Homo-oligomer: A and B are copies of this chain.
Amino acid sequence: MPTLADVAREAGVSKATASRALMRPDMVAAPTLERVRSAAERLDFQPNRAARALTTGRTGMIGLIVPTLANPFFAPLVLGAQRAAEETDSLLLLTVSEYDARREAALADRIADQVDGLVMVAPVGTDRALRERARHRPLVLVDRKVGRLPSVVLDTAQGTSELVAHLLELGHREIAYVSGPPGSWADARRRDAMRAQTEAAGARLHVLGPLPPTFDAGIEAVGALPEGVTAAVAYNSYLALGLLHGLEAAGIKVPGEMSIAAADDLTTLAATTPSVTALGVPVEEAGRLAVVRLLEICAGPRRTVADRLPTAVHPRDSTAPPRRP
């Protein structure tokens, strides 16, 4: 491994100049710059990150904590974050908290001093813990808001109320919300938004749950759908798939006897029979933006940013007017 000293010698300059040429090209005369660059090229010089980190205090790594990878929902999030990191020559340190606040805290502590900042998808866990963490390192929250902490939220609250509007328009008046994990920040927002929307229309929202956001839970939820309900919105795709399956097993026609919709949109939803009406969510963009914001914060003064990403209703075959009694 060639070092900066090698490059400097090869270019016939001092280490300081070599360093400047590579880091701050505008601080160096054009011909010198060229010499250093070509020397670095020739030697295939890769700066030693540890050494750089030691002097600058910046590691060039950013931490990303997600609750799980078992749900493909997070795949584009990670991808978006990785792409954004690549563009600035940063690296992603990824950890999975498994929806466990204690584990999340332990992991965050463990990596905090190795990264320049942290992007966290932390649906559960206390505001306090997140606030505290933000005091030490730059922190960007995804799909959650805590006070004035920087955040990127997928506006599924707005989205679910559009989903409800879609159902109301079809004529539904008794709508169920099959809600997600207990304590989920986004879940509570959606519930509130849907409630407001239904009540304003003189309709009724029946909340089931909280439920684990799984296929199986969706199946079981079918038994708990209140009498008279003609449409159900599920917290996520898995619950919706479970509903679909459970309804089929129970001999209840979709959308004839029951309309269903999901508040996110895994690709399989478009391919089921019937295809499932869902909320398109810019997940990759959220990952990308979170990293961009984090790097802004690392660079400049700690501005407060709160981005809100719009979602879009994808109407499909699982929603239709209720059967007239």
Of B71, B75, B219, B273, the residue contacting A248 (CB under 8 A) is B273
This chain: copies in complex: 2
CB pair B82 A78 closer than 8 Å:
no
Known: A48-B113, A53-B50. A91 touches B93 (CB 8 A): yes
* Cβ of A59 under 8 Å from chain B: yes
Question: Which parts of A102-159 form the interface with B (CB within 8 Å)?
Answer: 110-111, 113-114
* Cβ of A88 under 8 Å from chain B: no
Known: A48-B54, A248-B273. A96 touches B69 (CB 8 A): no
Of B74, B78, B82, B96, the residue contacting A79 (CB under 8 A) is B96
* Cβ of A245 under 8 Å from chain B: yes
A238 (CB) vs chain B CBs: closest residue: B268
Counting contact residues on chain A (CB < 8 A from B), the size range is 35 or more
* Cβ of A23 under 8 Å from chain B: no
CB pair B215 A267 closer than 8 Å:
yes
Contacts of A307 in B (CB 8 A): none
Residue in A91, A95, A111 with the greatest tally of chain B CB atoms within 10 Å: A91
**Once bound together, how far apart are the Cα atoms of A268 and B242, in whole Å?**
10
Contacts of A165 in B (CB 8 A): none
Contacts of A69 in B (CB 8 A): 69, 72, 74-75, 78-79
* Cβ of A68 under 8 Å from chain B: yes
* Cβ of A24 under 8 Å from chain B: no
Residue in A48, A70, A245, A267 with the greatest tally of chain B CB atoms within 10 Å: A70
CB pair A111 B96 closer than 8 Å:
no
The 30 listed contacts between A and B (C-beta, < 8 Å) are A48-B54, A49-B114, A50-B50, A50-B51, A50-B54, A50-B59, A69-B72, A69-B74, A69-B75, A69-B78, A70-B72, A70-B75, A70-B76, A78-B94, A78-B96, A79-B96, A91-B111, A91-B114, A92-B93, A92-B94, A92-B95, A93-B94, A215-B267, A215-B268, A215-B271, A216-B271, A219-B271, A245-B271, A245-B272, A245-B273
In the complex, besides A48-B54, A79-B98, 8 extra interface pairs with C-beta distance below 8 angstroms are A72-B72, A78-B94, A91-B110, A92-B94, A92-B95, A215-B271, A216-B271, A241-B268
- A residues within 8 Å of B by Cβ? 1, 46, 48-51, 53-54, 59, 61, 68-72, 74-76, 78-79, 82, 86, 91-96, 98, 110-111, 113-114, 215-216, 219, 241-242, 245, 248-249, 267-268, 271-273
